[in-house]
Chains A and B, each alone.
Chain A
Amino acid sequence: MSTITTEQVEARVVDALASFGPDKSQIARSSTFEELDIDSLDLVELAQIVEDEYGVVLKGEDMKGLQTVGDAIDLIAGRAS
């Protein structure tokens, strides 16, 4: 399996989050999930997308403490590498 870069994870996470409602242009690393109106169920869905894509298993509990888009990207990229 090839190496997954943080940029690739970022692009995938932004796409996934945009599919939950917020406009893509609003989504930055510093955006909080609260600002984007992304709820706990959205994060569980994001975890499923990440699992299907990268084989990284993230539990709802892992996602619970995440505040910003950057937090999620770093967690996923960290686990994927």
Chain B
Amino acid sequence: MTGASKGIGAAIARALAADGWPVGVNYRSDRDGAERVVQAISDDGGRAVALEADVVDPGAPDELFGRLEEKFGSSVLVLVNNAGINRDDLTPSLGDEEWSAVIDTDLTAAFRLTRRALKTMLRARAGRIVNISSVVGLRANPGQANYAAAKAGLLALTKTVAVEVARRGITVNAVAPGWIDTGMTAEVSQELLAAVPARRAGTPEEVAACVRFLVSEEASYVTGAVLTVDGGLAA
């Protein structure tokens, strides 16, 4: 579970732990946040470990999978790619650095982790990959060309990989949250919120519930799907 120290990632980590999964709570800089998530999971009787790694580092997938296998003594059969950043600006003033940083973190890292996860999942003939995309990958939001391109790329990655590995019992799906009440979207304007048919922001727990389903045994025939969790915004 990448990017799990706060917000949507933290909620997903807790939901999966509640279903009995031992969870690797990856974080880059927010050690305290990750430790709090691990503690909350332990308090609820679950198992989790905080794992520091910058997912942009090409060595991160091997390191993360190695540490998880060592800690829990079993193969990693679920991957949730949630780590993401945004560097918003209107395109005329969007810098190369802002472009690359977002593509590297939100898309390329997910690809590398997926490739590593498939090694194990193909041999196990089982696995679940869930990519946390965004409604902006489906519906334009000015000022987020880099973020939207990464998140739409994630949807194409999801569908392509899903088709490649479907016959091995591995499912690959995406969840596309809309306006969710987290630190990342704190300054969403009333105007934007008015565009949401449900007239409210979603909660991290409402996103986590969808991931929980996609990871479950019940979702075994759902693959290559994009589940929007957006109060109707993309409808």
Q: Which residues of A contact B (CB under 8 A)?
A: 39, 41, 44-45, 48
The answer, yes or no, to whether B122 is at the interface (CB within 8 Å) is yes
The answer, yes or no, to whether B167 is at the interface (CB within 8 Å) is yes
Within 8 A of A (CB), among B109-129: 119, 122-123
Query: Which residue from B123, B164, B167 sits with its C-beta under 8 Å from A45?
Result: B123
CB–CB B119/A41 < 8 A: no
The answer, yes or no, to whether B139 is at the interface (CB within 8 Å) is no
User: What chain A residues lie within 8 Å of B165 (beta carbons)?
Assistant: 41
The answer, yes or no, to whether B36 is at the interface (CB within 8 Å) is no
- Report the count of interface residues on B (CB-CB < 8 A): 7
Known: A41-B165, A41-B168, A48-B119. 7 other contacts (CB 8 A): A39-B167, A41-B122, A41-B164, A41-B167, A44-B122, A45-B122, A45-B123
Q: Which residues of B contact A (CB under 8 A)?
A: 119, 122-123, 164-165, 167-168
What CA separation (Å) do A26 and B123 show in the bound complex? 22
CB distance from A65 to the nearest CB of B (A): 19
CB distance from A56 to the nearest CB of B (A): 16
CB-defined A-B contacts under 8 Å, sample of 10: A39-B167, A41-B122, A41-B164, A41-B165, A41-B167, A41-B168, A44-B122, A45-B122, A45-B123, A48-B119
User: What chain B residues lie within 8 Å of A41 (beta carbons)?
Assistant: 122, 164-165, 167-168
User: Can you list the 10 inter-chain pairs with the closest CB atoms, starting with the nearest?
Assistant: A45-B122, A48-B119, A41-B168, A41-B122, A45-B123, A41-B165, A41-B164, A41-B167, A39-B167, A44-B122
User: What chain A residues lie within 8 Å of B168 (beta carbons)?
Assistant: 41
User: What chain A residues lie within 8 Å of B122 (beta carbons)?
Assistant: 41, 44-45
CB distance from A10 to the nearest CB of B (A): 21
The residue on A at minimum CB distance from B122 is: A45
CB distance from A61 to the nearest CB of B (A): 14
